[in-house]
Structure formats: structure tokens, C-alpha cells
Amino acid sequence: MTTATEALTAAPHPLAGKRMTGAEMVVQVLADEGVDTIFGYSGGAILPTYDAVFRHNEELRDADGQLPMPLIVPANEQGAGFMAAGYARATGRVGVCMVTSGPGATNTVTPVRDCLADSVPIVVICGQVPTHVIGTDAFQEAPVSAIMGSVAKHVFLVTDATRLESTVRTAFEIARSGRPGPVVIDIPKDVQNAIGEFRGTGLLPIKSYRQRVQDVADNALSASAAKAFFQFLGESRRPLLYVGGGVINGGAAPALRRFAERYQVPVATTLMGIGAIDTTSPLSLHMLGMHGTAYANYAVDDCDLLIAVGARFDDRVATDPGSFAPKARKIVHLDVDASEVGKVRNADWYHVGLLARDLDMLTSWGERHNVRTDTSAWLAELQANKDRYALNYDRDSELIQPNFVVEEINKHAKGEAIISTGVGQHQMWAAQYMDFREPRLWLTSGSMGTMGFGLPAAVGAQFAHPERLVIDIDGDASIRMNLGELETVTTYKLPIKIVVLNNFGDGMVRQWQKLFYKGRLSGSDKSLHRKDFVKAAQADGFEYAARLDRKADVPRVVEEFVNFDGPAFLEVIIDQDAGVYPMVGPGLSYDQMITGDFIPNRHEPDEGEEPDGSSMF
């Protein structure tokens, strides 16, 4: 927000006072916001702004021919939305997607909802039919502000051209402030064409929202709150940090690591929190929840203090909220969003604020007050559990086990590659078996669970980090959802590595059907599908496109695939019956976790009545 003093002292925008079209103003604000890539698909109602992007790029093309704001064109607008999301997840910066009206805009509804559910900042700019025909069922008209109002953090329909410039700027502010999220700007074509004076500064007067965000930012932990927190920690012998995606979104991973190290508190992360702590650290218990590691879930069962940070007791973690962390005498909750506190579980101590600052404040308060914790017995117990209940699978099978493939990929990725996934079994195997030494390397659709996320997210991430190794670990059913984007990978010569773990169907759906529906594989078996994925990749220009169906070849082929210089595609024919273990059934408590045939279980298998699958989700 520009204050009066800033307005007086700051140099005016070099283009302030220049007359330009609304479309040119949109592009200039994008440039001012530091946007270096736009993902989008053209069409009638967005033509003026596409033209303005073209002219901006031509004017500012550098000596090497590099464009300041390249426009990356997907096969489908959903792809553009997930590319913007992949870019945002991999960087923390706002991803930008630009599409036309009607179907262009509605195709981005899924990524917009996905970004809201996982708190990812993107701005989607949609063309709209001209103001005077809105509501007449015009060609390519859709009620974007009504549709997006339910799935975006906020949506603007710009009907007043004089407010366009400040609206675009404000959209970025809203997307990145507080709990981040997607913002949609719906711009009628006549507003894009309207000529006005560019001011180069100014935001919409959303004083109350801004004040509430500021209140959270100003809400530093008090000394008395810190004291109360350390009283809980001091009384605890078995504390556990339960860490969610908020730590990554809030840039709080370094602060979390300092806190965990200083007080020797073990860390279990949610799916979205993976990478908040180095997964190879002795303090890391990896992922908890429905498909978490057995030792992380046992730690939840055994802890006497649960410290939730940027996590929300979601139904994939607190599968049965009442029995979650049953021995925890105290529950502590830190979050940036007040509505998450007490939503599922009440906390004995909570704080709504900026996680990085608040965790560092706790660490330093404890240091100043010479707080000592002794968790060595607890950590030793957890280490024994990590050894005893380690992830495992059928290593002797003749068939290729997906876990083995992921382990081999992990040897080359070394915890430093960006990994994206679709949704389902392969997503869980990747979450379980890959290492992540840093945040923002793990890109996955957590809350919405959108199949088809992996490939476009990898494209967005590779544009954000051209030098990094980017691997899309995908499933045959998931990749089909956005298979058109294979062509986008080769069009832009992106050296993305795409591995499809092919089990000829919707593996996770089948796993549930086997467990809860007596094996009736309704709609989930694709063994009659005739798709040749390798030919499909070749047709889209992949010079490396291979099929792997012999176990003995896995290490060699994975190595050549990962190290191929350029886009590479690998289909792996995996054991169709491979399941994801451990598994805590939906609605069940952690002591009812099943661990399969290859991971020990500290509870006797429950011979009770079969659960009613139809009521589970």
C-alpha cells in the first residue's frame, strides 16, 4: 500500500501520464510486478491484451532475442492454469495465466480451485465479452465472476476502465498476501480497448482486508505466550511437530528447521509440508496420515505434545479427528489463518501470525531463557521405529514394483530435483520414497487431488527454474487427463523427465474397490485400452521415449532416462496389484492402520467386521 509519504518521495513511474489502452496497462502492470512468463491461450475476447503482450515483447526483446515476458501456450487452458501453479509453487512468486472468455475461462476453474485449496498464489486474467453484451448469452460468454467467486480467493469483474490498472495491481497484492491464493480478473474486451492515462501507481481501496492482513503480520508473539508455550514443551517428554504446507508457503522452513534442531523435536509433515524439513534429517519422520510412514503415524499415536504448524488437521491426516494424537496432553497450533484454528481440533495454545517470525521468536526466547529439552529417549525410540517399521515392498517379485522405480529415480534426483505428480498411487509412492532436501521441490495437488496436475505443473516449474532437473512422476490415468501438454514440453524444448508408472487403470480407485467394494472394479480397469504411450511421446517429438518392462533393466534405464539431455519420456509397466502401504482407512484411527505384507505392524490385524466403504471418502 502506498502511503502519503511514499507517494511524495517515490519517483514517479517512467510511464506515468502516458495515454494507453487498457490492454497495454494490464501488460505494464504485469511487467511492474516482475512477471517473466505468462501461461495462456488466446481467443477473441482477450485479443487486445495478447496483442499488447506481443508488442511489449517485440519492443523490449534483448540482443540475444530473449523476450521479457514470453507467452507460453498450452494445449488446453487447464494446462495454462497448472503451469502458472507449478511456477508459483516452485518459486513462491505469483504465477500468471491469461485466457479468453467462455470456455477459455471455464477451463481454468479446476486449477483455480486447486490453487485455493493448496494456498497457491496465481493471477488469472480472462477476457470477457464486451460490457454492453454481458448477460445476452453472447458468443463465448460465461458468468466468470459468478463461477470463480466460489473457487477463487477473490474475483474482479472490471467494468470501469479507469479502475483497470489499480485492479490488476491489487490482484497481485491479494494473491500473495495473508494466506496466498488465486485471484481472477475478468476484463471485457471494450475495457481492454479503452484508452486512458496510465498512473503507474495506486491500489483499490480494500482497506479492511488490508488491515486484517496487517493485523496478522503485526501479531508478534508476546513473551507471556512464549513462556506458556515453553511450559508445555518443558513438561513434554514426547513432543512432535506436525508440519503442513503453511510452513512452505510462509517461507518458514528455515525457521522450522532451527526450532526443531535447537529443541530436538521430531518432525512429521503432511503431503503439502514435504520439504519443510530435509527428509534425510534424523529429525524427519517423513509424511504422516492416510499413507504416511508407519513410524510417523506411531509417533502421532505416542506423542504427549502435538505442535501443529501451518497444518489444518485435514481428513487425510486426522482421519478420525477424535482419536488423532490420542495421548497428546496438549495441542499447540500456529497458523497464518485464524479460521484454521479450532476448525477441526481445539488447541490448548495457539497463535495466528507469520510462521517464520513466530518460530524464530520461540527459538530465540527459549535460547534467552536457557530452555533445555531432553528428548533423547523419545528420539531413540523413534529411530528404532524408523528401522523396524521402515517403508518396504515386495523386493523379490518378478514384476516391476513402483516403489523400486521411485527408489531408483531418487538415487539420481538426490533430494534436489523438482518432482511433480498426478494424483493417486504413484503420487503416494513418490511422496513416500523420494527425498526432498529443500522446500518448493515437491509439487503435488494435495487438497483438490487433481489428476492431470503433474505434466503442466512440471512445465511451469521448468520455466521458473531452467537449470534444475524437473521430473514428472505420473500415472497412466493421471497423465491422460492433460496428455496434450506432452507437445508443449517439446515445443519449448524443456528438458523435463516424464515417467509414467503404468498399471493400466486408476490404481488408487482399484485399491479402494478391493478393500471396500469386494473387488468390483467399476470403471477403473483400463487393461483393454490400446494406448501406446511411447508412440504418443514420439509423435509429440520426444527423442527419448522408452518402455521399461523388465525388472533387471530398471537401474540402467532409469539412469539413462534421468540423464538424457532434453525432454525424455519413460513408461514403466508396473505390477498392477501393487498397493500403497501403510494405509489408514478413511474415518479410522491410526491404530487401525494396515501396513501390507512387507512392513511390520505393531497392532494385531483387526479381524472385526468389514468397514462400510460406501460411507467413506
Query: CA separation (Å) from 230 to 283, 371, 464?
Result: 19, 8, 40
Active-site annotation holder among 20, 39, 173, 189: 189
6 is catalytic: no
- Should residue 154 be labelled a site residue for other proteins when binding is judged by CB under 8 A? yes
DSSP classification of residue 579: -
Where in 225-254 is the site for other proteins (CB under 8 A)?
Answer: none
Helix (H) or strand (E) holding 230: helix 223-235
Helix (H, G, I), strand (E, B) or coil at 417: coil
CB of 338 to other proteins, least distance (A): 5
- Should residue 162 be labelled a site residue for other proteins when binding is judged by CB under 8 A? no
DSSP classification of residue 105: H
- Should residue 338 be labelled a site residue for other proteins when binding is judged by CB under 8 A? yes
- Should residue 601 be labelled a site residue for other proteins when binding is judged by CB under 8 A? no
| Stretch binding other proteins (CB under 8 A), from 194-202, 338-346, 391-399, 451-459 | 338-346
CA distance 305 to 325: 9
Is 266:366 a contact under the CB 8 Å cutoff?
no
- Should residue 135 be labelled a site residue for other proteins when binding is judged by CB under 8 A? no
- Should residue 397 be labelled a site residue for other proteins when binding is judged by CB under 8 A? no
Of 234, 282, 342, 600, the one binding other proteins by CB under 8 A: 342
Is 88:100 a contact under the CB 8 Å cutoff?
no
Cell 488491515, residue? 211
| Stretch binding other proteins (CB under 8 A), from 292-300, 321-329, 334-342, 394-402 | 334-342
**Of 232, 236, 384, the residue nearest 298 (C-alpha):** 384
- Should residue 106 be labelled a site residue for other proteins when binding is judged by CB under 8 A? no
Of 208, 224, 370, 527, the one binding other proteins by CB under 8 A: 208
Active-site annotation holder among 24, 77, 173, 571: 77
The pattern of x and - marking residues 400 through 439 that bind other proteins according to CB under 8 A reads ----------------------------------------
- Should residue 339 be labelled a site residue for other proteins when binding is judged by CB under 8 A? yes
CB of 425 to other proteins, least distance (A): 30
- Should residue 530 be labelled a site residue for other proteins when binding is judged by CB under 8 A? no
427 is catalytic: no
CA dihedral for 251, 256, 259, 261, sign (positive or negative): negative
- Should residue 349 be labelled a site residue for other proteins when binding is judged by CB under 8 A? no
CA distance 132 to 228: 60
CA distance 37 to 35: 6
For other proteins, give the closer residue by CB, 269 or 450: 450
CB of 337 to other proteins, least distance (A): 7
CB of 120 to other proteins, least distance (A): 16
140 is catalytic: yes
CA distance 304 to 489: 49
Q: Contacts with other proteins: how many residues (CB under 8 A)? A: 24
- Should residue 136 be labelled a site residue for other proteins when binding is judged by CB under 8 A? no
- Should residue 617 be labelled a site residue for other proteins when binding is judged by CB under 8 A? no
| Stretch binding other proteins (CB under 8 A), from 42-50, 153-161, 479-487, 510-518 | 153-161
| Stretch binding other proteins (CB under 8 A), from 156-164, 460-468, 554-562, 607-615 | 156-164
Coarse DSSP helix, strand, coil percentages of the chain, rounded to the nearest 5 percent: 40, 15, 45
CB of 345 to other proteins, least distance (A): 11
**Of 187, 43, 182, 150, the residue nearest 103 (C-alpha):** 43
- Should residue 518 be labelled a site residue for other proteins when binding is judged by CB under 8 A? no
Of 207, 493, 520, 530, the one binding other proteins by CB under 8 A: 207
Give the Cα-Cα-Cα angle 574, 577, 578 (nearest 5 degrees): 65
Burial of 294 (0-12, 13-18, 19+ CB in 10 A): buried
CB of 290 to other proteins, least distance (A): 23
The half-sphere exposure of 118 on its side-chain side, counting CA atoms within 13 A, is 29
For other proteins, give the closer residue by CB, 337 or 525: 337
- Should residue 150 be labelled a site residue for other proteins when binding is judged by CB under 8 A? yes
Q: What are the b/e assignments for 385-406, b being 16+ CB within 10 Å? A: bbeebebebbeeeeebbbbbbb
508 is catalytic: yes
**Of 398, 386, 435, 440, the residue nearest 414 (C-alpha):** 435
83 is catalytic: no
Of 88, 174, 265, 309, the one binding other proteins by CB under 8 A: 174
CA distance 580 to 512: 10
Is 92:70 a contact under the CB 8 Å cutoff?
no
In the complex, the residues that contact other proteins under the rule CB under 8 A are 145-146, 149-150, 153-157, 159, 174, 178-179, 206-209, 211-212, 337-339, 342-343
Where in the sequence numbering do the catalytic residues fall?
77, 139-140, 189, 508
